[in-house]
Each structure stands twice: as C-alpha cells, then as structure tokens.
Amino acid sequence: MRRRDFIKVVGSVVAWPLVAQAQQSATPLIGFLSSRSPDESKFVLAAFRKGLSEAGFTEGTNVTVEYR
C-alpha cells in the first residue's frame, strides 16, 4: 500500500505544473464575418462595438475581434 501512495504523490507532483499551466485564461477571441464591404457595414459594426462595451468588453483590452 505504501508503494501505491508514493506513486500517487509523485504522479501528482509531476502533473501539477501541467494543470496549473492549462488554467491560465486567454483573451477571448471573437470572429466577425461579413460579406459586405467595410463601408456598407459601418452601422452594423458600430452596433456590435456598442453591444460589446455594454457587456463590459473593450476591444483590444479584454477581448480580441478579428474581422473577415
């Protein structure tokens, strides 16, 4: 029984850095897809950014938006 306990302890010590590294939060990434030209979607983008700010997100600070 002692050998099994020792193996459990060693296994958890080895796995701990991997678990801690996996829990680091990344900045959320939002993809904005549109078939319109940037000039045509000005109003849609303005409303999208307003909705983000009302939800507490600031583009470039705590959220990343990729436009396509």
Please give the chain's pLDDT, 68 residues, in tens.
Answer: 577 766 665 566 555 555 555 555 678 888 888 888 878 888 988 999 999 999 999 888 889 888 88
Distance, in Å, from the CA atom of 65 to the CA atom of 9, rounded to the nearest integer, reads 43
pTM of the model: 0.56
Pairing type for strands 29-32 and 64-67 reads parallel
Neighbours of 65 (CB within 10 A): 16
